[in-house]
């Protein structure tokens, strides 16, 4: 089985990002930490693209790229804030509190976890109805289900 660049570019991209993450972990230090963070964002984007690749080829990559673009922007700004606060006070002596947490923890909870989760929770139903599950597929599923129930179900 040969690797074909056109067909396998998302998988190859994910493997390259994983190698960058591995190199960042081995190098360590502030640069390694930052590189690892942004490589993680790239891996999330490639993972989403890999999951919707068949549907995107049938319709368009535009809505999925828009979701990934917003996700990358939100996570990029969040990691920039997180690393800024961490490098400003790496020992966390005399922490400044935001919304009940130290600043870095607030960024994690309210910027890196919550907005991406909400974005994907609201984008998925919209994209599902319009791009992933067509009316023809729904009708075919109903026909299969009704023929199974007429036959007495699974055997």
Q: Judge whether 91 lies within some domain.
A: yes
How many angstroms separate the CA atoms of 134 and 150, rounded?
25
- What length is written for the chain? 155
Same-domain check for residues 94 and 132? yes
Same-domain check for residues 47 and 64? no
Q: By the 8 A CB rule, do 25 and 36 touch? A: yes
Same-domain check for residues 69 and 135? yes
Per residue of the chain (155 residues), give pLDDT as tens. Answer: 676 776 778 888 889 999 999 999 999 888 888 899 889 888 888 888 887 777 777 777 788 888 888 888 888 888 888 888 888 877 777 777 888 888 878 888 888 888 888 888 888 877 777 777 777 777 888 888 887 666 665 55
Same-domain check for residues 46 and 82? no
Same-domain check for residues 18 and 82? no
- The total of structural domains in the chain comes to 2
Q: Judge whether 155 lies within some domain.
A: no
Q: By the 8 A CB rule, do 131 and 55 touch? A: yes
61 secondary structure, DSSP code: S
How many angstroms separate the CA atoms of 125 and 130, rounded?
9
Same-domain check for residues 64 and 139? yes
Helix 5-27 to helix 29-51 angle, to the nearest 10 degrees? 160
Same-domain check for residues 77 and 135? yes
Longest dimension (CA), the chain: 70
How many angstroms separate the CA atoms of 25 and 16, rounded?
14
Check: pTM over 0.85? Answer yes or no.
Answer: no
């Amino acid at each position: 089985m040969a690797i074909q660049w056109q067909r396998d570019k998302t998988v190859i991209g994910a493997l390259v990002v994983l190698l960058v993450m591995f190199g960042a972990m081995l190098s360590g230090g502030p640069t390694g930490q930052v590189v690892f963070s942004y490589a993680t964002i790239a891996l999330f984007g490639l993972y989403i693209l890999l999951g919707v690749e068949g549907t995107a080829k049938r319709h368009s990559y535009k809505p999925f790229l828009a979701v990934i673009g917003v996700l990358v922007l939100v996570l990029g700004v969040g990691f920039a804030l997180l690393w800024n606060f961490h490098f400003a006070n790496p020992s966390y002596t005399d922490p400044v509190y935001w919304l009940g947490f130290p600043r870095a923890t607030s960024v994690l909870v309210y910027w890196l976890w919550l907005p991406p989760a909400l974005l994907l929770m609201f984008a998925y139903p919209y994209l599902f109805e319009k791009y992933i599950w067509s009316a023809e597929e729904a009708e075919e599923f109903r026909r299969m289900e009704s023929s199974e129930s007429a036959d007495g179900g699974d055997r």
